[in-house]
Structure 1
Amino acid sequence: MPLDPVDLTAALVRCPSVTPEEGGALRLLEETLAAAGFDCTRVDRNGTPNLFARWGARNARRVFGFNGHTDVVPVGDPTDWTHPPFSAHREEGWLYGRGATDMKSGVAAFVAAAVDLVAEAPPEGAIVITVTGDEEGPGRDGTIAILDWMAETGERMDVCIVGEPTCPEVIGDMIKIGRRGSMTAQFEVTGKQGHSAYLHKALNPMPAVALLAHRLSTHVLDEGTSHFDPSTVSVTTIDTGNTASNVIPARTRMTVNLRFNDLHSGASLTDWLRAEADRVATETGTRIAMTAQVSGEAFLTPPGALSALVSAADEAETGRRPVLSTTGGTSDARFVRAHCPVVEFGLVGHRMHEVDERVREQDIHDLKAIYRRILADYFAG
């Protein structure tokens, strides 16, 4: 009997898997996949829950992979929800609950598609499913840990779909073939505290941080590329903590976030930020310390066989030809791309992380059908 992806989504939503809690979600998937003949291995690292599952031989000629996550963001105030956030309430064709959109429905759809295919038309090849419980968190011991384990044990994927919600309006309207890079930098500007009436005895760090903020936020990094929007720099906070109006503070802190295309790297942008900070420090006489963290480099899977495969299956099932895009934030595709060609394709994402997060049940069925066709066409080819 075919595996119902909506029922599986509901069962996953009932698992309270707020990062870093596993909540029973990976145990449920392991039981489901093992019953269908998948070899399952937990690849937990440093307390982070992860699951690897393979159907078919390790040395198969062709290996198709899916990647996703079952951890979810916090629910906020549960009383703001129309229905309890982990109740998986179903009403008028909608399924409600935290993770219903991002991305337990996507995981349920590709698991159901894979389980049905191996039961009804076993392919000549292998299917690998990787699911982490730490995509919404730091991400250091999630998909990265699975990929590290795969490299150590000789497991592989030849191509991979990350099942994140990618469609802005209706299912099938967009495939992500890459993502901008993301990094955050913190600056601490130090001057000399003093009385605001005696400027000559103090060194105010506030004009320096304002100057640095202006130069960074108004600088044009690039005009974009054929597949990417222009890179951006956003000042996200300036914190001084000064509660006295007649005191010049000793120091202030600023944070900026950058989203960048493939014209740049985290290293090149770090060098640029340090140079700008040093320049302002020299001009103002302050001291500016900087730290930077790169959460992901820009990457692109050029339009080709994988995007064509997904596009054709999508169009066959929905009648829509999807747009190939690199918009949005980051996902675990930034890690998978170092292992094999990867694209992201999933449900409509505009309700993710919201109060009353919900997904159309029919969309889940449609996504399963698209994934099933992708698998069939891949192994047929």
Structure 2
Amino acid sequence: MTDPVKLTADLVRCPSVTPQEGGALVLLERLLGGAGFECRRVDRNGTPNLFARWGGKGHGRTFGFNGHTDVVPVGDAAAWSVDPFGAAEKDGFLWGRGAVDMKSGVAAFVAAAVDFVRDTPPDGAIILTITGDEEGGASDGTVALLDWMAEAGEAMSACLVGEPSCPERMGEMMKIGRRGSVSAWFTARGVQGHVAYPHRAKNPVAAIAMLTARLAAMELDHGTEHFDPSTLALTTIDTGNPVINVIPASCCAAVNIRFNDLHTGASLSDMLRAEAADIAGETGVEITVETKISGEAFLTPPGLLSALVAEAVALELGVTPGFSTSGGTSDARFVKDHCPVVEFGLVSRTLHEVDERVEIAQIRQLKAIYGRILAGYFA
């Protein structure tokens, strides 16, 4: 049997801080190739990606897993009580950067897939898509894999993303969708002047203050059946002005909106530009707006895929996971354009933290759950 704990430890020891591959995909390709998976590196613009398939190409029933081996930086290494890339095991936990997010998830679905095809070769195919660019810009990771799959005639019928999905207790939650994310940067340009003669200046700080106050007070919606209300957060206001007797020439601000399926990134970008235009008209201060849409809101309606995952969790843990669309973005936002997708993984409590760690028993539980999902799908 493939040990998911040992595989997690081996992956944690690979220093794969985005965009470095660190040996993680090389390790996985060797393991999967040895189990009969057809593997191909799908690197793009320096981003490392791995595609692996067991079974016939284009088979009608193809279950997919998606995940990433890249990790965020360790931060202050001196603040860690262990080597961030040492994969120490103590107190029932495996410690290290990426232990939760998400080398344990990758190890669990790789181990489950390898053992499944060896023990009960399915009437169908299994595809694993593993990227090294989820924690970075994400433009050449899962997106590149899906682009290559479309060109090569490869397709998944359904996909599970192995991101940590449970807030506090193993098995309590799966993600059936995600909120969208749009960021906006505002630059107000006025006329610099002496504070004693404000009538000779056009104060961009006042304009930005009016704009951000108006945005912060907005109620975007009341939520939907599967989504909480959309939120807008002010993230910075900056003038770079070191003195108090000068009205500066410019001032900047930024906001981020996490939105539900009542909106699109484009509709919210238009709203932000309209609000900025209103304030510019009221104050006479020019305000420019730049926006970036990181992902659209999406939902995989409860159905066969979510029921399959819920049944596997209940059989293994005696817990029925709730459906959620909370949290940040994940690569499921790209997979949802390819096939139905849900997310289920470990407890997310320490992801990205100093002394990131995963309960060892949970890694084994996750492998067992993924094995039950495969068995149920190909039954």
The two structures have a TM-score, normalised by structure 2, of 1.00
1:336 offset after TM fit, Å?
0.2
Question: Which residue does 2:232 correspond to in 1?
Answer: 233
* Partner of residue 93, structure 1: 92
Structure 1 runs of 4+ with >3 Å offset: none
Inter-partner Cα distance in structure 1 for 2:273 and 2:352: 34
1:22-68 CA-to-partner distances (Å, cap 9, x unmatched) read: 00000000001000000000000000000000000012220000000
Is the partner of 2:280 in helix, strand or coil?
helix
SS in 2 for 1:65: strand
Q: Deviations over 1:154-192 (max 9, x none)?
A: 000000000000001111110000000001000000110
AA matched with 1:83: V
Specify the alignment match of 2:7 in structure 1.
8
Aligned to 2:248: 249
Partner of 2:81: 82
Counterpart for residue 20 of structure 2 = 21
What amino acid sits opposite 1:340 in the alignment? Answer: C
For 1:143, the equivalent position in structure 2 comes to 142
> Which runs of structure 2 are paired with 1:84-123 in the superposition (5 Å)?
84-123=83-122
1:176 equivalenced with 2:188 (yes/no): no
| CA distance in 1: counterparts of 2:228 and 2:64, whole angstroms | 28
TM-score, normalising length: structure 1: 0.99
Across the aligned residues of Structure 1 and Structure 2, the Cα RMSD in angstroms comes to: 0.5
Count of aligned residue pairs for this structure pair: 379
After superposition, the C-alpha distances for 1:62-110 in whole angstroms (9 at most, x for unaligned) are: 0000000000000011111101100000112110000000000000000
Give the aligned residue type for 2:238. D
Which is worse superposed, 85-94 or 102-111?
85-94
The equivalent residue for 2:360 is 361
Match of 2:311 in 1: 312
Conservation of the 8 A alpha-carbon contact between 2:68 and 2:134: yes
- 1:348-367 residue CA offsets vs partner (Å, 9 max, x unmatched): 00100000000011000000
C-alpha separation between the residues in 2 aligned to 1:212 and 1:203?
Answer: 15
Classify the secondary structure of the residue corresponding to 1:170. Answer: coil
> 1:67 maps to what in 2?
66
2:45 counterpart of 1:55 = no
Residue equivalent to 1:261: 260
Unaligned runs of 5+ in 2: none
**SS of residue paired to 1:166:** coil
Amino acid at match of 1:358: R
Deviations 1:292-332 (A, max 9, x none): 00000000000000000000000000000000000000000
- Distance, in Å, in 2 between the alignment partners of 1:267 and 1:51 is 32
Equivalent-residue separation in structure 2 for 1:345 and 1:228 (angstroms): 18
DSSP 3-state at the match of 1:348: coil
Identity of aligned residues (%): 65
Local SS of the residue matching 1:268: helix
User: Aligned-pair distance for 1:222?
Assistant: 0.4
- Equivalent-residue separation in structure 2 for 1:322 and 1:349 (angstroms): 15
The secondary structure found in structure 2 opposite 1:197 is coil
Q: Which moved more, 1:167-176 or 1:294-303?
A: 167-176
Q: For residues 253 and 199 of structure 1, what CA distance do their matches in structure 2 show?
A: 20
In 1, distance between residues paired with 2:249 and 2:122?
67
Q: Counterpart of 1:363 in structure 2: which amino acid?
A: Q
- Partner Cα distance (2:210, 2:246) in 1: 20
Matched, 1:154 2:162: no
Kindly state the Cα deviation for residue 137 of structure 1 after the two structures are TM-superposed.
Answer: 0.1
Q: Does 1:216 align with 2:204?
A: no
Which position in structure 1 is the counterpart of 2:34?
35
Q: Which runs of 5+ in 1 are unaligned?
A: none
Separation in 1, partners of 2:294, 2:166: 23
In structure 2, C-alpha distance between the alignment counterparts of 1:61 and 1:251, rounded to whole Å? 59
1:283 aligns with 2:282: yes
Structure 2 Cα separation of the partners of residues 269 and 81 of structure 1: 40
Distance in 1 between residues matched to 2:60 and 2:184, nearest whole Å:
44
Query: What is the rounded CA distance, in whole Å, between the counterparts of 1:164 and 1:209 in structure 2?
Result: 38
What is the match of residue 163 of structure 2?
A: 164
Q: Provide the secondary structure at the position in 2 that maps to 1:102.
A: helix
